[in-house]
Structure 1
Amino acid sequence: MASLSLLPTFVSLSPPPSLSPSSSVTCLSPSRIHTVTVHSPRWPRSAKRSLVPRSTLDEVSVIDPPPPPPPSEPKSEFIESLKLKLLSSVSGLNRGLAANEDDLRKADAAAKELEDAGGLVDLSNDLDKLQGRWKLIYSSAFSSRTLGGSRPGPPTGRLLPITLGQVFQRIDILSKDFDNIVELELGVPWPLPPVEVTATLAHKFEVIGSAKIKITFEKTTVKTTGSLSQLPPLELPRIPDALRPQSNRGSGEFEVTYLDTQIRVTRGDRDELRVFVIA
């Protein structure tokens, strides 16, 4: 049998037609044809390894999973409960005129709970919620017993026969009008009946940052109501800025700390807490 190393340069190897224990290789040369038979090795049966894993059956203790926790209260219902808590804490305080120190603390704590649950106010997205006529139901500054709140204003009580009625804020987000509307009852000598008037303090407003509002005073208009409602409105002359006290320059800033379509909570530049409901 010829050796493969002695084959001439032109050799053609034809691959076996199938994989079998023995294969033939045909060697072509110009003068002879050699056929070389190659035997593939056979593996003994004992050399085969079993690939089937063995498994054992162990006893496993099955424990029932713990019951799921009770569903948490939906956020909307939680917010509603905090709103009710705030309204309850300020009810019966005559918008803050009858509030004592304990009442002020309770109202402030209830407002902070609502503010924390509601998150930060973004007026760039919620400016339309400011639109409308809002009724003031509480002001912490009214506990000072003056109509100016934390700023100088006429006192209430027996020194001046002035009775504070309803207080509103009228906001127009298109014209930027921001009007404080105050209903007053003025006492007159007996036997004349009290005079009812509505004072409108007109302002313009602008939004500063995400939740702060700056208002600038423009004018005050007084209109009689009741039996004297036929009288025309009276525009009061504006006090020159040079004669105004430093604490009341006709402008102010406050932050909206909670806002939805029903209730609005604000804190003034002197930490004055105010609560409004849509009228």
Structure 2
Amino acid sequence: MASLNLLPNPSTSLSRSLPFSSSSSPSSSSCFYPRGFVPRRNFHAFTPKGNNHLKPFLVVKSAVDEAPVAEPLPFPFGESISSLKLNLLSAVSGLNRGLAANEEDLEKADAAAKKLEAAGGLVDLGDDLDKLQGRWKLIYSSAFSSRTLGGSRPGPPTGRLLPITLGQVFQRIDILSKDFDNIVELQLGAPWPLPPLEVTATLAHKFELIGSSKIKIIFEKTTVKTTGNFSQLPPFDVPRIPDAFRPSSNKGSSDFEVTYLDADFRVTRGDKGELRVFVIS
């Protein structure tokens, strides 16, 4: 007589709870199956919903005068969220936040991000807005491959021959005050024998939700604070260019979509197609 057991762990036996166990008996609240028959719809009972870290269970068959045979279950298991996050980090590592990315690097990063976005599902900021709270460090921006600090928008160029070196980039988000600050560390070259000037520029914005996963930011002001050898100098606000003189592509507001979000990892897609990856800092 054939029998079948699902064994998620060699040290654990589930035979006592299976509806087709020899000790089972028909009742009004459960179905009775002949010994050795396993309905396909019962397989999912041993795969907790939303758990991406389980390895495939095994079906172990036995028959009279036959040795046990182990086979994988017939339904697929996806990669874990943790491994997909690591794959994305691996794809963007060594790219200097995107400044050193070529076309092949951009494609690899985009493909890794799409796998994570698909596994994570749709983001609903109506329920998960609190996960935005905090200071986020930019790991990668596809827009920086244009070799300008403005990314897909106008901005000062970077390079060996120009005296601007990009340091760390952060986003500081306060969901109560609706503050959304982009914080950029820069090093500005100076004529010899003066040391380079290190500054932190804070581009202050307000934000609002314009969809379940989309955010609009509205620019307010830029504040510059010297650091390093000149840290004693007070901060100052950079005068804002009047809207009449601003390029049509930079009117002080933009929007982006949050395509993946958890407590320590965030992926966004900008209104000009920029892919950005952040980790909580």
Letter in 1 for 2:72: P
* 1:160 CA drift (Å): 2.8
How high is the TM-score relative to the length of structure 2?
0.74
1:186 maps to which of 181, 185, 188? 188
Separation (CA, whole Å) in 2 of partners of 1:244 and 1:255 = 24
Matches within 5 A, 1:225-264: 225-264=227-266
The corresponding residue for 1:38 is none
Shift of 1:154: 0.4
Q: How does 1:18-167 map to 2 (within 5 A)?
A: 64=63, 67=70, 69=72, 78-167=80-169
> What is the Cα deviation at residue 262 of structure 1?
1.1
CA deviation string 1:215-257 (max 9, x = no partner)? 0000000000011111000101111111110000010000000
Deviation at 1:118, TM superposition (A): 0.3
In structure 1, stretches of 5+ residues that fail to align are: 1-62
3-state SS of 1:117 partner: helix
Structure 2 unaligned blocks of 5 or more: 1-61
The alignment's C-alpha RMSD in Å is 2.1
Distance (Å, rounded) in 2 between the aligned partners of 1:150 and 1:166: 19
* Alpha-carbon displacement from aligned partner over 1:151-205 (angstroms, at most 9, x marks no partner): 0100001453000000000000000000000000000001111000000000000
* DSSP 3-state at the match of 1:95: helix
**How far apart, CA to CA, are the structure 2 residues paired with 1:101 and 1:127?**
34
TM-score, with normalisation over the residues of structure 1?
0.74
SS of residue matched to 1:249: coil
Q: Matched residues in 1 for 2:146 and 2:245: separation?
A: 24
Any idea what SS the aligned residue of 2:99 has?
A: coil
**2:221 paired residue number:** 219
Q: In structure 2, do the counterparts of structure 1 residues 231 and 158 end up closer, same or farther at CA, with 3 Å as the change threshold?
A: same
**Separation in 2, partners of 1:71, 1:196:** 59
CA distance in 2, matches of 1:74, 1:186: 50
Tell me how far apart the structure 2 counterparts of residues 73 and 96 of structure 1 sit (CA, whole Å). Answer: 34
Report the Cα distance in structure 2 between the residues aligned to 1:234 and 1:71, rounded to whole angstroms: 64
CA distance in 1, matches of 2:93, 2:76: 26
Q: Aligned partners of 2:74 and 2:101: how far apart in 1? A: 39
Q: Give the partner amino acid of 1:109.
A: A
CA distance in 2, matches of 1:67, 1:159: 64
Q: Which amino acid aligns with 2:104?
A: D
Residue matched to 1:43: none
Q: For 1:94 and 1:160, locate their aligned partners in 2 and report how far apart those are by CA, in whole Å.
A: 17
CA, structure 1 residues 191+134, in 2 after alignment: closer, same or farther (shift >3 Å)?
Answer: same
Alignment match, 2:206: 204
SS for the counterpart of 1:169 is strand
Question: Which of structure 1's runs of 4+ aligned residues deviate more than 4 A?
Answer: 65-68, 70-75
CA displacement, residues 93-146 of structure 1 (integer Å, 9 cap, x when unaligned)? 000000000000000000000000000000000000000000001000100000
- Describe the superposition over 1:4-62 as per-residue Cα deviations: whole angstroms up to 9, x where unpaired: xxxxxxxxxxxxxxxxxxxxxxxxxxxxxxxxxxxxxxxxxxxxxxxxxxxxxxxxxxx
Which residue of the other structure, out of 247, 264, 274, is the alignment partner of 2:276? 274
Q: Max radius of gyration: which structure?
A: 1
Tell me which amino acid in the other structure corresponds to 2:246.
Answer: R
**Cα 1:251–1:67 shift into 2, 3 Å:** same
Distance 1:118 1:275 in 2: 15
Q: Please tell me the residue identity of whatever aligns with 2:257.
A: E
Three-state SS of the structure 2 residue aligned to 1:114 is helix
